[in-house]
Amino acid sequence: MDINQAIRTRRSVGKVAAEMPDRSLIEKVLEAARWAPNHHMTQPWKYFVLSGNARNRLGEVMAEIKAEGMTEDERVEAASQLEREREKPLRAPVIIAAAVSPSADSRVEEIEEICAVAAGVQNALLTAHALGLGAIWRTGKPTYSPKMKAFFDLSERETLLGFLYIGHPAILPKERPRLPIAEKVTWLES
């Protein structure tokens, strides 16, 4: 697929089939992610591939995070909400968790490390699309919880940036309108 076509036709696919994509396709998605640009060649990314029962374990952590601060009575009352939280990772047969492991080099700005991982995620999303897979980058408060950090054994300096839910598309999302580029660009010429 031509890169411009991939960029213009890629959409977040929130509903995918339960069928597990071939592992070689997931490996191609990960390989694309590793070619993201990064200052000082720090390669600050960490990727975790979850499938099978690992998604259930992730769901348990998500439910625990949602239940934080609730009394036992509130947990009983919110049982269906907590169950929905538990089931979120089961919406896709494969989840890739993307984390940033910033360099300790004093020349390196942490924001640049985060941007490098985000660029890797975009490479992954475009590659998944070009391979005929559906994918969506999901985040939210549980992503940044200390419990989630512990689940992935991330250090204090490391940060989870989100989850790529990947599978064979079960829907074809509609194109969403974009603002004209002229509304988002200012040319500074002198």
Structure tokens at 13: 């696919």
Query: According to the annotation, is 176 in a ligand binding site?
Result: no
Query: According to the annotation, is 107 in a ligand binding site?
Result: no
CA distance 140 to 146: 13
> How is 24-55 classified by DSSP, letter by letter?
HHHHHHHHHHTT---GGG---EEEEEEETHHH
Query: According to the annotation, is 57 in a ligand binding site?
Result: no
- Partners of 160 in the β-ladder: 99
Query: According to the annotation, is 137 in a ligand binding site?
Result: yes
> How is 108-133 classified by DSSP, letter by letter?
--HHHHHHHHHHHHHHHHHHHHHTT-
Query: According to the annotation, is 39 in a ligand binding site?
Result: yes
Structure tokens at 28: 């191609």
Annotated binding site for FMN: 10-12, 39, 137-139
Q: Cite the annotated binding site by residue number.
A: 10-12, 39, 137-139
